[in-house]
A = this chain, B = another copy of it.
Amino acid sequence: MEDVIIRYFFEPEVKNGILIEGLPGVGNVGKLAAEHMLDVLGAKKFASLYSRYLPPQVLINDGGKIRLVSQDLHVYRGEKQDVVFLTGDYQGMSQEGQYELAMATLDVVEKLGIKKIYTLGGYGSGKMEDEPRVLGAVTDEKMRKELEKAGVEFSAGEPSSGIVGASGLLLGLGELRGMRGACLMGETSGYFIDPKGANALISILSKLLNIEIDTSSLEEKVVEIEELARHVKEMEDAEGKGDRQDLSYIG
């Protein structure tokens, strides 16, 4: 079989397009942000990618219907620019798989004339942050100013290990094809699925893309998660483990 099977539901026309990637990762920050945006914007799924580099697994919905794990492409037709979202159940499961899936996505979006990429990720700080920062990295230093104006911070040599996985590869391999882009990393404890970090990402993207995005449903999730975190902390205190802000003891 081919390394990646692409199934089109329709062939979209895209003008002035941007790719936004939000696959599972640290705190699922990128996935949460991308899925929230495509949901609120009413983006339409136009293709699914299946691959022998994804787990050999089907998922089951509440009606008992199965669905092969996939990565999916949605398109949002904006006023001045269109956005293609890449989301999915999993990242590629091996390093070869990471490369093959990134290349397959780039093949698709290159054909759509897309030249700009934002990849979304989490930056695990080990702490719960009230005001999570959004860190950036770019393929082209000329992009920094625009991002800094929107609130993205650049911190020399952070993350020190670079960016591992699809968020890095799509930019690195995209650059070899003449695409420009940035990785936006929402600060997150890394211990919970983190809608707060996702919210921080959306607020930046909303400025960069000049689109209003309703985040009220995401903010409800923020409240839920904060209650969960408070609860964990109370149990800890009751056990006499003191008043720690650092959550690295969870899980």
Question: Residues of A with Cβ closer than 8 Å to B?
Answer: 1, 5, 7, 50-69, 92-93, 95-96, 98-100, 102-103, 136-141, 144, 154, 156-159, 161-166, 168-169, 171-173, 175-176, 183
Contact = CB atoms under 8 A, between A and B. Distances in A.
- Chain B CB within 10 A, most for which of A55, A65, A162, A169: A162
A144 B93 CA distance: 33
Copies in the complex: 4
Contacts of A64: 136-138, 141, 144, 154, 156
Nearest to A167: B58
A1 B166 CA distance: 15
A160 to B, nearest CB: 8
Contact of A162 (B57, B136, B158): B57
Given A1-B99, A1-B100, A137 B60 contact: yes
B171 A5 contact: no
